[in-house]
Amino acid sequence: MYDGLTSPGRNDECWCGSGKKYKKCHLDFDERLEGLFEAGEDVPSRDLLKTAADIEGVKRSAAVNVGVLDYVAERIGPGVTTEQIDTWVHDYTVEHGAIPAPLNYEGFPKSVCTSANEVVCHGIPSADEVLAEGDIVNVDCSTILDGYFSDSSRMFCIGEVSPEAADLVRVTKEAVEEGLKAVKPWGHLGDVGAAVNEYAKAHGYTVVREFGGHGIGLEFHEDPFVSFVTEPGEGPIMVPGMMFTIEPMINAGAQEIDMTDPNGWTVRTADKSLTAQWEVQIVITEDGYELLSW
């Protein structure tokens, strides 16, 4: 097969764990993948495709991830420090039998990313960072439960924000929704990024190139990379079972970013303009997609 993985015999048990014979389960599916590969398409390896058991495991993880973001939403406001948010996320996650995925990931020192105003991503919570009226902040939560990973983020407007900030937050969420509309089984992943980028640009905003979405489920970051500055009809085929995040980072000003923070993590807009991000996690199904974490 195209991916170098062994295929079962026709009458052997299918690789997906369904218990069915291969010929009655994924044989035709695999032949379709092979045909697409031979036609020159970018086809994901079958070991990236999630089984029914995998998807159920991720759903349990996502229930904690969504729950912690709901918990933050009930409490965040002016005067809250980003360190408090980190404590909320850590304690809620652990109390629900899970692990905050960011904590100690490649040396990241906290349980959540909190990215306010001009911070594009990977903001590190701090007791010295006090959220004030008019701020906008992204809270990016990732959870491990029983070895399954979930990941989503939300924007929060702190008190009353400027019309410009409110518009950026709204349009960024709508851009994610436009990306979801472009998700079609057996379509190209580039269609998703193109829809996001077109919507953002139509509202006068720019989309960060260097960071994007990613595969997820059995690891924190898996293939494919999900760019949001793509062209329609390009990129990997969205095969049922593929699981990834849609998480564009959209700037009010220029597209360029600044990665020079000495902490080695925090990324800002180069021109210090406001930026926003929403993130959802989905799995491709036979007839569309299923939203797992938001």
DSSP SS3 for 205: coil
Give the integer Cα–Cα distance in Å for 213 and 191.
Answer: 14
What are the DSSP calls for 94-151, one per residue? HHTT-EETTTTGGG--SSSEEEETTEEE-PPP-TT-B--TT-EEEEEEEEEETTEEEE
Which residue's structure tokens are 């919570």? 125
Strands 206-207 and 257-258, sheet pairing? unpaired
Q: Is 178 annotated as a binding residue?
A: no
Q: Is 203 annotated as a binding residue?
A: no
Q: Is 140 annotated as a binding residue?
A: yes
Which residue's structure tokens are 């995998």? 54
Q: Is 221 annotated as a binding residue?
A: yes
| Token digits of residue 261 | 């923070």
Q: How many helices (H) and strands (E) does the chain have?
A: 5, 15
Q: Is 122 annotated as a binding residue?
A: yes
Q: Is 96 annotated as a binding residue?
A: no
Which residue's structure tokens are 């999900």? 226
Give the integer Cα–Cα distance in Å for 172 and 42.
Answer: 28
Q: Are 18 and 241 in contact (CB under 8 A)?
A: no
Q: Is 290 annotated as a binding residue?
A: no
For residue 47, count other CB atoms closer than 10 A to its CB: 11
| Token digits of residue 197 | 């980028």
Annotated binding site for substrate: 122, 221
Annotated binding site: 122, 140, 151, 214, 221, 247, 279
Annotated binding site for a divalent metal cation: 140, 151, 214, 247, 279
